Structure 1
Amino acid sequence: MPLPHWTPEHVLPPGRHPADLSDLYERFVWDAPHRNEREIIFSALSGYLGVVCRLIPSGRAWIGGELTNRTSDAPRDVDVVLIPDEWGALKRLDGAARARLYGMLTLRGVIAEQPVMYLEQVQPVSGLLDGFLCHPGDEDEWAAIWARGPVPGTAKGFAEVTW
């Protein structure tokens, strides 16, 4: 089912909108300015979701962030929150798979050794994507965050990809 058309505020109408990758491409790349920048971010998102689907047997991804707004400014990234259908499946991942999954999540306030440095934020895919993992029971909090419009007090919609 295609994503709904942009509102006059250049966002999706409020709500969670089911989509697949072709729907995301149509609305967030083809039907928006700065197509070249959007193509690069979409490629990062597509690859990211491909890896996620191999690690998490089934779940949903909520897509938000700058890519999902139709503004005159070029988007810098896309935001994704992963919602596994079964949390136990993550606990059963072997060490290598768990490390790959954790490497796909955004980290904030990181202190690294050799060389010693403080990093405000570490993002997957060269900073083109912010990836988060929703713990069971936190869906309402994430939905509220994803529904915040670009102007305080406004609401916007977001896309939901299921696998």
Structure 2
Amino acid sequence: MPLPHWTSENVLPPGRHQSDLSDIYERLVWDAPYRNEREILFSALSGYLGVVCRLIPSGRAWIGGGLTVRSAEIPRDVDVVLLPDEWGALKRLDGHARSTFYGMFTLRGVIAEQPAMYLEQVQPVSGLVDGFLCHPGDEDVWESVWSHGPVPGTVKGFPEVVW
């Protein structure tokens, strides 16, 4: 189902909009400024979701961040919150799959041993994706965060990818 057209505030109309990657490409890349930068973000998102879908049998991903706003600023990243359908599937991941899965999330305040350094934030896909995991019962909190528009007091919609 195609994503709705941009509002006069240059956001998607309020609500979750079921879409697939081709819908996201059409509205958030093709029909928006800074297409070259958005192409890179879309590629990062596509690869990110490809790995997620191999690890989690079914779930949803809510897409947010700069990619979902049609503004005069260059989008810097795409935000993704994952909502697995079955939490037991995460517990059943083997060691390598578990490491891959948990390595796909944004970390803040990281101290690394080798090489020794402090990083304010570590993001997947070279900083192009901010990845988060929604725990059961926190859906309303994430939906509220994802609905904040770029201007205080505005509400925006966001794509939802289901697999």
Q: TM-score range by the shorter chain?
A: over 0.9
The Cα of 1:117 is off from its aligned counterpart by 1.3
Deviations 1:22-64 (A, max 9, x none): 0000000000010000001000000100000000000000000
Matched ranges for 1:123-142 at <5 A? 123-142=123-142
Residue 121, structure 1, aligned to residue 142, structure 2: no
Report the secondary structure of 1:111's partner residue.
Answer: strand
Q: Which residue of 1 aligns with 2:86?
A: 86
Aligned residues: 163
Could you list the runs of 5+ residues in structure 2 that have no partner in the other structure?
Answer: none
Aligned to 2:64: 64
% same residue: 81
d(CA) in 2 for partners of 1:124, 1:75: 16
Which residue identity lines up with residue 125 of structure 1 in the other structure? Answer: V
Structure 1: how far apart are the matches of 2:52 and 2:115? 30
Which amino acid is the alignment partner of residue 52 of structure 2? V
Structure 1: which 4+ aligned runs deviate by more than 2 Å? none
Whole-Å separation in 2 of the counterparts to 1:114 and 1:156: 41
Unpaired stretches in structure 1, ≥5 consecutive residues:
none
Distance 2:117 2:34 in 1: 34
Residue of structure 1 in register with 2:16 after alignment: 16
Query: TM-score normalized by structure 1?
Result: 0.99
